[in-house]
């Protein structure tokens, strides 16, 4: 945990801001528009932009809902540019006409990220009639004005066959990057809907094949996508889900803020008990690195996070990004030294743990084969995370019951 | 004692905490697989034939399911049922595969298709139990409920089976299942006398359920429901059966037989009989896992393992927990795993009965403590997170 404490005070590289929860589309895989959250005023956002630029944040991503529904979005973009932040805007593209494209250009936007789910039938089915044509037109208009565009795709059961087509569209309409992200029920109100969008095991095998060709085509056409290791993990995610037993780097690199101004450690943990604070009430530098934030981070690191494959954090899948020069410099060790250090630490804990277990089981008189078997099953089981839902009162009652049962057994031991 | 007391303790703990923490620590003990809903009869109290017509569970899916179950290494009993399972041409192939995987397989049949050759095949197949349904001690009763000639066929099947078992000297347990209903309530005890002479080794009674799909919908107005004077008759019959069981065995009770009276009087409550939603699953011929009318998921789509942890399964289990009218079927309950005190007491009792050196017993108790620790740690972790 030494390294963790060293980078604890680092401010994030990127801030993702959901400026509104309103949206003009009613997509099948997203219920954000239902939440009807309050919105902050322009002044508060401006103060926030001041704050983050002061602490050295590099990028701000305006997201939503549909951020273009906010009247003052161009003002915010221009203000961020003034503060020398890279600005990215995530939109569905349906509102971008010539007028808005001009405004975006004059505000000094860096990148516009347009969502594209596949060919027109699929896109229109998932996002509503006519949305594909508008999104493609938006890409075209932005290209004409020389604004960099990227394409974002949520991979689900409906569109996993058409990932290659998305790359082709991106190439035709001049987008530089395609970001794929597997479906997550994060933005769904009814979490049981998840099964509708998740791929079946047979389809996962097919997805694995498609991904290989996606990697090939993207390299051939010169379009950058997520790191290959990230893409190749996608079938696994659909089959079993991905869990990080020790949290993830996204906790240090990026910071999500919702439309009400609440700051969370990451989008997956955007819930009440993980709330770090509100930017309308506190300054950013106070929230980030506060004791509450540190405690939340430690909690996540010690118990693991629910695990996700949000494409904004895909860097963690690629080790080259993982050990950035800045961190190396901060830690004062070279890349290979750090690698060695990690390996040694892993080995140490593994050996220590095994010896502890073996010593424990040697006390119990078992055969050697059984002892080894136990050690390995224990090591295997250690990775399984169990999510249980239980109320606090009930849990306390159960603990009492268990303690009582243990007392009975211990009494038996003493008597015999 | 077949199972070691520690294994039993571990299983009971798993069932107990599965129910309390809503997470499948325990795998289901009873797994019913309806291979198809085709049947030779159209019995009056059974509507299975009319639902899911045309669906057959493919052999490949059954095979995959068996593989998964074998991988669990859990004490499971797989019951092949239907419709009439012997209408499936590949039934012996399925049994053979299950036996190869060292699973405990049972078959429930009406006996209509069991001739001498089939009986010999069954005896040789390595089944654990073959159950034949017999709903009356007299021909008229059984034939009235099922179909003309059904009684003779069932009795003949039992005779063939016991003859074959005698011939080979080994084979599955031959048992008879009787559904308690208005028509046969006066003959319950007579069935014992009938099957005893044939050579049946086990007799199981279970009360009739009215709605096949939704077991909570047991209406007292339903036909076949035992009511009025018949309840007195049922009580007399139970007295006789219990008396016989105490002296000679043969009858196996899955629960206190006097609960049947409460069941038919509609006074049976949750306190008398509690369902544990983690004990049983029923796989339909379409591959859907259903319980009490709600679905867990389809094994054709996502496989058995994944079905047990779907959000649908959580919803279905929550519904079963809220059930106010238990149905007293053979499947749902695990009364020995309801209370932690009882689990521990049973464990100590079993341990005392086992012929083990004192030192070994202490080790077993320590392992039991470790198991408890595991659950305690889990709950405490959860508490500290929230």
Residues of chain B contacting residue A192, judged by C-beta atoms under 8 Å apart: 311-312, 315
Residues of chain B contacting residue A410, judged by C-beta atoms under 8 Å apart: 369
Residue that has been written with the tokens 């059961």 in this structure: A157
| Partner-chain contact B372 A409, CB within 8 Å | yes
Of A201, A402, A403, the CB nearest to B302: A201
Q: Within 10 Å of residue B352's Cβ, how many Cβ atoms?
A: 12
Res A406 pLDDT > 80: yes
Residues of chain B contacting residue A394, judged by C-beta atoms under 8 Å apart: 20
Q: Is the dihedral of CA B348, B349, B354, B359 positive or negative?
A: positive
pLDDT at B232: 92
Number of H helices, E strands in chain B: 13, 10
Q: How many residues in total does chain A contain?
A: 416
Q: Which two tokens stand for residue B85?
A: 């399972």
pLDDT at A311: 66
The reply to whether A388 touches chain B by the CB within 8 Å rule is yes
Q: Which of A31, A6, A8 is nearest to A21 (CA)?
A: A31
Q: Which two tokens stand for residue A14?
A: 């990127």
Q: Which two tokens stand for residue B182?
A: 């208005």
Of A392, A405, A410, the CB nearest to B383: A392
Distance CA A233, CA A181 (A): 11
Distance CA A159, CA A370 (A): 49
Query: Is residue B284 located within the same domain as residue B350?
Result: no
Res A209 pLDDT > 50: yes
Res B158 pLDDT > 90: yes
Choose from A198-207, A242-251, B145-154, B293-302 the range with maximum mean pLDDT: B145-154
| Partner-chain contact A409 B315, CB within 8 Å | no
Task: DSSP letter for B205, please.
Answer: E
Give the mean pLDDT of B24-44.
89
Of B303, B344, B367, the CB nearest to A405: B344
Task: DSSP letter for A10, please.
Answer: P
Spatial contact of A213 and A162, defined as CB atoms under 8 Å apart: no
Residue that has been written with the tokens 């040789």 in this structure: B124
Query: Is residue B149 located within the same domain as residue B36?
Result: yes
Spatial contact of A93 and A135, defined as CB atoms under 8 Å apart: yes
Query: Is residue B143 located within the same domain as residue B237?
Result: yes
Q: How confident is the model at residue B220 (pLDDT cuts 50, 70, 90)?
A: low
Task: DSSP letter for B26, please.
Answer: S
Distance CA A31, CA A22 (A): 10
Closest CA–CA distance from residue B192 to any residue of chain A (Å): 42
| Partner-chain contact B383 A395, CB within 8 Å | yes
| Partner-chain contact B362 A402, CB within 8 Å | no
Q: Which of A95, A66, A268, A69 is nearest to A187 (CA)?
A: A268
β-partners of residue B251 are B203
| Partner-chain contact A404 B20, CB within 8 Å | no
Distance CA B31, CA B298 (A): 15
Res A28 pLDDT > 90: no
Residues of chain A contacting residue B312, judged by C-beta atoms under 8 Å apart: 192, 195
Provide DSSP, B134-164.
---SSHHHHHHHS-TTHHHHHHHHHHHHHHH
Give the mean pLDDT of B365-385.
85
- Give the residue, B153 or B213, on which the prediction is more confident: B153
Give the mean pLDDT of A70-77.
92
Distance CA A95, CA A2 (A): 48
Q: How confident is the model at residue A322 (pLDDT cuts 50, 70, 90)?
A: very low
Tell me how many degrees the CA angle B3-B5-B8 measures, rounded to the nearest 5: 70
Residues B32-41: tens digit of each pLDDT = 999 998 999 8
| Partner-chain contact B312 A365, CB within 8 Å | no
Domain end position, chosen among B317, B333, B349: B333
- Give the residue, B58 or A312, on which the prediction is more confident: B58
pLDDT at A284: 87
| Partner-chain contact B372 A191, CB within 8 Å | no
Chain centroid to CA A338: how far? Answer: 25
The contact set of B with A (CB < 8 A) is 20-23, 297, 301-303, 306, 310-312, 315, 340-341, 343-345, 348, 358-363, 365-369, 372-373, 375-376, 378-383, 385-386
* Mean pLDDT estimate for chain B: 86
Q: How confident is the model at residue A379 (pLDDT cuts 50, 70, 90)?
A: low
Residue B361's domain comprises: 1-26+334-386
Res A330 pLDDT > 60: no
Q: Within 10 Å of residue A231's Cβ, how many Cβ atoms?
A: 26
- Edge-to-edge strands, sheet with A111-115: A177-182, A148-155, A111-115, A86-91, A59-63, A14-18, A254-257, A262-263, A277-278
Distance CA B201, CA B28 (A): 26
Helix (H, G, I), strand (E, B) or coil at A180: strand
Helix (H, G, I), strand (E, B) or coil at B124: helix
Supply the CATH number for residue B118's domain.
Answer: 3.20.20.70
Distance CA A250, CA A14 (A): 10
Task: DSSP letter for A266, please.
Answer: -
Strand locations in A259-343 (E): 262-263, 277-278
Distance CA B300, CA B304 (A): 8
pLDDT at B212: 45
Q: How far is CA A347 from CA A340, A342, A351, A354, A358, in A?
A: 10, 9, 6, 10, 16
Query: Is residue B113 located within the same domain as residue B15?
Result: no
Q: How far is CA A221 from CA A175, A176, A211, B350, in A?
A: 11, 10, 15, 71
Residues B140-149: tens digit of each pLDDT = 999 998 889 9
Q: Which of A248, A267, A249, A272 is nearest to A257 (CA)?
A: A267
| Partner-chain contact B362 A413, CB within 8 Å | yes
Q: Which of B214, B100, B119, B213 is nearest to B172 (CA)?
A: B119
Query: Is residue B10 located within the same domain as residue B56?
Result: no
Query: Is residue B225 located within the same domain as residue B371?
Result: no
Torsion of CA A333, A337, A343, A347, to 10 degrees: -90
Q: How confident is the model at residue B309 (pLDDT cuts 50, 70, 90)?
A: confident
From A2-6, A233-237, B133-137, B248-252, the region with the lowest mean pLDDT: A2-6
- Those residues with Cβ within 8 angstroms of residue A239's Cβ, 6 or more apart along the chain or in another chain: A201, A204
Distance CA A89, CA B277 (A): 49
Q: Phi and psi of A222, rounded to 5°?
A: 75, 35
Distance CA B82, CA B108 (A): 8
Residue of A nearest to B13 (CA): A402
Query: Is residue B4 located within the same domain as residue B106?
Result: no
Distance CA A41, CA A56 (A): 23
Percent of chain B with pLDDT over 70: 94
Residue that has been written with the tokens 């250690």 in this structure: A382
Distance CA B29, CA B76 (A): 4
Query: Is residue B14 located within the same domain as residue B53?
Result: no
Distance CA A239, CA A204 (A): 7
Query: Is residue B220 located within the same domain as residue B302?
Result: yes
Res A316 pLDDT > 90: no
pLDDT at A326: 47
Helix (H, G, I), strand (E, B) or coil at A37: coil
Res A92 pLDDT > 50: yes
pLDDT at B386: 59
Residues B318-354: tens digit of each pLDDT = 888 887 777 777 666 677 888 899 999 999 998 888 8
Q: How far is CA B174 from CA B92, B267, B369, in A?
A: 17, 34, 40
Choose from A333-342, A356-365, B63-72, B218-227 the range with maximum mean pLDDT: B63-72
Spatial contact of B101 and B67, defined as CB atoms under 8 Å apart: yes
From A52-56, A102-106, A400-404, B312-316, the region with the lowest mean pLDDT: B312-316
Of A273, A389, A416, the CB nearest to B361: A416
Closest CA–CA distance from residue B40 to any residue of chain A (Å): 36
Note the maximum CA span of chain A.
Answer: 87
Domain end position, chosen among B333, B353, B370: B333
Helix (H, G, I), strand (E, B) or coil at A234: helix
- Those residues with Cβ within 8 angstroms of residue A331's Cβ, 6 or more apart along the chain or in another chain: A3, A6, A7, A338
Q: How far is CA B282 from CA B127, B177, B210, B296, in A?
A: 19, 18, 17, 10
Q: Which of B25, B104, B2, B15 is nearest to B336 (CA)?
A: B15
Residue of B nearest to A406 (CA): B369
Percent of chain A with pLDDT over 70: 79
Query: Is residue B117 located within the same domain as residue B95?
Result: yes
The count of structural domains within chain B is 2
Query: Is residue B22 located within the same domain as residue B102?
Result: no
| Partner-chain contact A410 B315, CB within 8 Å | no
Q: ipTM above 0.90?
A: no
Q: How confident is the model at residue A223 (pLDDT cuts 50, 70, 90)?
A: confident
Give the mean pLDDT of B96-112.
93
pLDDT at A246: 53
Which residue of A194, A402, A416 is the best one to mutate when testing the B interface, meaning the one whose CB has the most B CBs within 10 A?
A402
Q: How confident is the model at residue B209 (pLDDT cuts 50, 70, 90)?
A: confident
Residues of chain B contacting residue A295, judged by C-beta atoms under 8 Å apart: none
Q: How confident is the model at residue A123 (pLDDT cuts 50, 70, 90)?
A: very high
Torsion of CA A358, B74, B280, B99, to 10 degrees: 170
Query: Is residue B116 located within the same domain as residue B260?
Result: yes
Choose from A169-173, A305-309, A354-358, B58-62 the range with maximum mean pLDDT: B58-62
Distance CA B73, CA B75 (A): 7
| Partner-chain contact A392 B344, CB within 8 Å | no
- Give the residue, A334 or A240, on which the prediction is more confident: A240
Distance CA A76, CA A64 (A): 14
Res B123 pLDDT > 90: yes
The reply to whether A408 touches chain B by the CB within 8 Å rule is yes
Q: Which two tokens stand for residue A28?
A: 């099948």
Residues of chain A contacting residue B343, judged by C-beta atoms under 8 Å apart: 405
Residue of A nearest to B375 (CA): A402
Give the mean pLDDT of B177-184.
90
Residues B51-99: tens digit of each pLDDT = 888 889 999 999 999 998 998 888 899 999 988 999 999 999 999 999 9
Res B163 pLDDT > 90: yes
Res A245 pLDDT > 60: no
Task: DSSP letter for B290, please.
Answer: E
Res A301 pLDDT > 50: yes
Helix (H, G, I), strand (E, B) or coil at A132: helix
Q: Which two tokens stand for residue A147?
A: 């604004």
- Edge-to-edge strands, sheet with B280-283: B251-252, B202-207, B173-180, B129-133, B104-109, B77-81, B30-34, B280-283, B288-291, B294-298
| Partner-chain contact B367 A195, CB within 8 Å | no
Percent of chain A with pLDDT over 90: 22
pLDDT at B330: 63
| Partner-chain contact A192 B315, CB within 8 Å | yes
**Orientation of helix A392-415 relative to helix B5-21, angle to 10°:** 160
Q: How confident is the model at residue B219 (pLDDT cuts 50, 70, 90)?
A: low
Distance CA A170, CA A225 (A): 11
């Amino acid at each position: 945990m030494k390294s963790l404490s060293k980078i604890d005070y680092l401010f994030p590289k990127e801030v993702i801001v959901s400026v509104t929860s309103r949206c003009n589309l009613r997509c099948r895989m997203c219920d954000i528009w239902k939440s009807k959250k309050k919105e902050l005023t322009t002044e508060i956002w401006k103060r926030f932009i001041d704050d983050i630029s002061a602490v050295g944040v590099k990028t701000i991503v305006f997201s939503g809902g549909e951020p273009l529904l906010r009247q003052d979005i161009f003002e915010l973009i221009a203000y961020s540019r003034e503060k020398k932040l890279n600005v990215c805007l995530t939109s569905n593209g349906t509102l971008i006409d010539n007028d808005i494209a001009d405004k975006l250009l004059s505000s000094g936007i860096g990148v516009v990220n347009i969502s594209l789910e596949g060919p027109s039938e699929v896109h229109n089915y998932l996002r509503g009639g006519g949305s594909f044509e508008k999104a493609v037109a938006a890409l075209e208009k932005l290209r004409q004005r020389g604004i960099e565009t990227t394409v974002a795709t949520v991979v689900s059961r409906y569109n996993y066959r058409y990932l290659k087509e998305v790359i082709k569209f991106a190439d035709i309409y001049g987008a530089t990057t395609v970001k794929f992200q597997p479906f997550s029920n994060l933005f769904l109100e009814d979490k049981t809907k998840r099964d509708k969008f998740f791929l079946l095991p047979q389809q996962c095998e097919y997805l694995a094949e498609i991904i290989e060709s996606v990697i090939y085509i993207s390299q051939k056409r010169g379009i950058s996508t997520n790191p290959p290791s990230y893409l190749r993990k996608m079938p696994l995610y659909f089959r079993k889900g991905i869990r990080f037993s020790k949290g993830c780097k996204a906790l240090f690199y990026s910071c999500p803020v919702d439309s009400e101004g609440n700051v969370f450690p990451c989008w997956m943990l955007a819930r009440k008990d993980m709330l770090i604070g509100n930017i309308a009430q506190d300054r950013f530098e106070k929230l980030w690195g506060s004791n509450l934030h540190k405690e939340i981070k430690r909690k996540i690191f010690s118990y693991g996070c629910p695990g996700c494959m949000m494409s904004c954090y895909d860097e963690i899948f690629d080790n080259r990004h993982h050990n950035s020069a800045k961190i190396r410099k901060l830690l004062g060790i070279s890349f290979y030294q750090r690698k060695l250090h990690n390996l040694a630490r892993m080995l140490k804990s593994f050996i220590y743990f095994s010896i502890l277990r073996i010593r424990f089981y040697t006390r119990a008189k078992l055969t050697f084969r059984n002892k080894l078997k136990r050690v390995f099953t224990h090591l295997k089981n250690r990775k399984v995370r169990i999510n249980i839902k239980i109320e606090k009162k009930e849990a306390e009652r159960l603990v009492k019951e268990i303690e009582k049962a243990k007392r009975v057994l211990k009494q038996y031991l003493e008597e015999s | 004692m077949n199972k070691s007391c520690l294994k039993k303790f571990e299983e009971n703990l798993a069932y107990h905490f599965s129910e309390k923490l809503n997470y499948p620590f325990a795998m289901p003990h009873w797994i019913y697989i309806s291979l198809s809903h085709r049947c030779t009869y159209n019995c009056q109290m059974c509507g299975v034939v009319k639902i899911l017509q045309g669906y057959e569970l493919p052999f490949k899916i059954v095979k995959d399911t068996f593989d998964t179950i074998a991988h669990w290494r859990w004490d499971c009993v797989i019951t092949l049922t239907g419709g009439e399972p012997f209408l499936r041409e590949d039934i012996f192939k399925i049994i053979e595969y299950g036996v190869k995987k060292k699973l405990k397989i049972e078959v429930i049949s009406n006996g209509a298709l069991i001739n001498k050759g089939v009986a010999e095949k069954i005896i040789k197949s390595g089944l654990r139990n073959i159950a034949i349904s017999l709903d009356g001690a007299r021909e008229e009763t059984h034939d009235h409920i099922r179909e003309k000639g059904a009684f003779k066929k069932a009795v003949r099947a039992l005779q063939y089976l016991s003859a074959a078992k005698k011939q080979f000297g080994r084979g599955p347990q031959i048992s008879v299942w009787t559904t308690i209903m208005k028509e046969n309530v006066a003959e319950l005890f007579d069935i014992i006398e009938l099957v005893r002479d044939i050579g049946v080794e086990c007799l199981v009674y279970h009360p009739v359920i009215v709605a096949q799909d939704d077991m909570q919908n047991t209406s007292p107005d339903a036909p076949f429901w035992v009511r009025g004077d018949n309840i007195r008759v049922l009580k007399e019959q139970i007295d006789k059966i219990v008396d016989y069981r105490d002296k000679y065995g043969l009858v196996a009770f899955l629960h206190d037989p006097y609960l049947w009276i409460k069941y038919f009087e509609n006074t049976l409550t949750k306190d008398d009989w509690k369902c544990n939603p983690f004990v049983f699953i029923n796989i339909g011929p379409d591959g859907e896992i259903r319980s009490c009318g709600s679905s867990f998921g389809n094994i054709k789509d996502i496989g058995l393992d994944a079905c047990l942890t779907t959000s649908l399964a959580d919803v279905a289990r929550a519904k079963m927990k809220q059930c106010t009218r238990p149905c007293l079927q053979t499947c749902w309950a695990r009364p020995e795993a309801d209370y932690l005190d009882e689990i521990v007491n049973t464990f100590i009792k079993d341990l005392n009965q086992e012929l083990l050196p004192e030192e070994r017993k202490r080790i077993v108790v320590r392992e039991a403590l470790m198991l408890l620790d595991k659950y305690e740690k889990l709950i405490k972790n959860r508490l500290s997170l929230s």
